[in-house]
Structure 1
Amino acid sequence: MTVHEWASLLVQQVAETDWLQWVAVAAGVAEVLYARAGKIWLYPTGILGTVLTIYILWCSGLYAECWLNGYYFVMSVYGWWHWARKKNTPPVKASYCNAAEWWITGAIVVLGTLLLYVILKYKTPSTVPFWDAWVSATAWAGMWLLARRKIENWILLNISNLFAVPLLFYKHLPMFAALTVFLFVIAVQGFFAWRKEIRADALGTMIPGHS
């Protein structure tokens, strides 16, 4: 397709998007912006967006995507609980993965890709089962790391975004591809913001009497 044809398709999709989808997309954008800023509000907005997305996908008959968003819902609830400020307990700070967390991350990516590939290949009419599975599994791993406030979450989420953009264009979904490009940029900014926070915390611990 030419650039003009892609632009026409984008305009058509925007015109045909109902208010419920716009609310779901807005909640998703708000979730990422809150995540970049390190605000716990990322979880309630993420939960709202996920619930709406599950409903929209279910009505559209995209049941496999509903399962994936069900996972995002569970991870958002877990992340909210894990990240919440508790009495006499400081909030969870951003940090780097340790060896065990890297192993878990790798397992989520590999096993998630294989599991989803088998389901999409043999239980759905998907025409891109492997790439769909890969994009989802890397996002799974990123969500798990985000819930634990590990800076590597941005890397995993952007690996997912990087492959999702051409996949969405292939599926003639340029509006969602454009949104994914936006999320990619936000994730890059989030990585550097969290790295700055980690370095500031490390510097503080090296200064005697610093709180």
Structure 2
Amino acid sequence: MNLTEWLQGFAGASPLEWIATVAGFMCVYLLIKRSIWSFAFGLVQVSIYAWIFFEVKLYSDMVLQFFYIGFQFYGWAIWRRSQDDSGHVLVVKGSLNEYLLWLMAVILSTALVGYLMSNNTDASLPYPDAFTTCASLAAQWLLSHKKLFNWGFWIVVDIVAIAIYWQKQLYPTSALYLCFLVMAVIGQWQWYRAFKTNQNKTDS
């Protein structure tokens, strides 16, 4: 694809995709800041993407958005009960065994969902789509529970998602996930700093 075709792809994107893109950017930015308002922007983003993914036959991703809708309310309810004096959520480290169990769950569920989508639907890219769905659910659960290394899951999800959405010619969405990738790296660093700062306060 040359530069002209790439720019035409951006120019031809639907208004809904652009709205979802902006909402998604704001959601992740506020997550990095550990702000509870991230869930409001997240609700807008995932509601729109449920329709977009249905149109391009990314059915696993479509189903994922409905789980995300529930997670916006679930995460908000948990975060509002665990904030510091400045209104930022308190980060929890989590155990190695916990992260390994989630990793194993992602691998097994990806194989199962990918197989079902491949053999029972006309899904496009069933296994990569299944992976981003299953890994995103794990990451979202860890995020809702304020686990420090949720960002590691998001980093891997974003790398795969960039390739998927580029292939499906969802160029603003692909660019959004490139931003998400950079922001996830920043988020991991910011949350680690916040965790260490709070730990030092507790120890002192």
TM-score by length of 2: 0.87
| Whole-angstrom CA distance in 1 between matches of 2:136 and 2:158 | 8
Task: Name stretches of at least 5 consecutive residues in structure 1 with no aligned partner.
Answer: none
Matches within 5 A, 1:1-211: 1=1, 5=2, 7-58=3-54, 62-85=58-81, 92-99=89-96, 101-207=98-204
| Whole-angstrom CA distance in 2 between matches of 1:173 and 1:52 | 14
Identity across the alignment (%): 25
| CA contact 2:20–2:44 (8 Å) conserved in 1 | yes
How many residue pairs were aligned? 202
| Whole-angstrom CA distance in 2 between matches of 1:19 and 1:146 | 29
Task: Name stretches of at least 5 consecutive residues in structure 2 with no aligned partner.
Answer: none
Alignment partner of 1:118: what SS?
helix
What's the CA shift for 1:66? 1.9
| CA contact 1:9–1:174 (8 Å) conserved in 2 | no
Question: Quick one: higher RCO (CA 8 Å, sep 6+), 1 or 2?
Answer: 2
TM-score by length of 1: 0.84
Q: Computing the radius of gyration over CA atoms, which structure comes out larger, 1 or 2? A: 1
What's the CA shift for 1:103? 4.8
| CA contact 2:78–2:144 (8 Å) conserved in 1 | yes
Gap change, CA 1:146 and 1:21, over 3 Å in 2? same
| Whole-angstrom CA distance in 1 between matches of 2:25 and 2:107 | 27
Query: What root-mean-square deviation, in Å, do the aligned CA atoms of Structure 1 and Structure 2 show?
Result: 2.5
Gap change, CA 1:55 and 1:131, over 3 Å in 2? closer
What's the CA shift for 1:17? 2.0
What's the CA shift for 1:153? 0.8
Once the two structures are overlaid, the 10-residue window that deviates more, 42-51 or 112-121, is 112-121
| Whole-angstrom CA distance in 1 between matches of 2:105 and 2:198 | 29
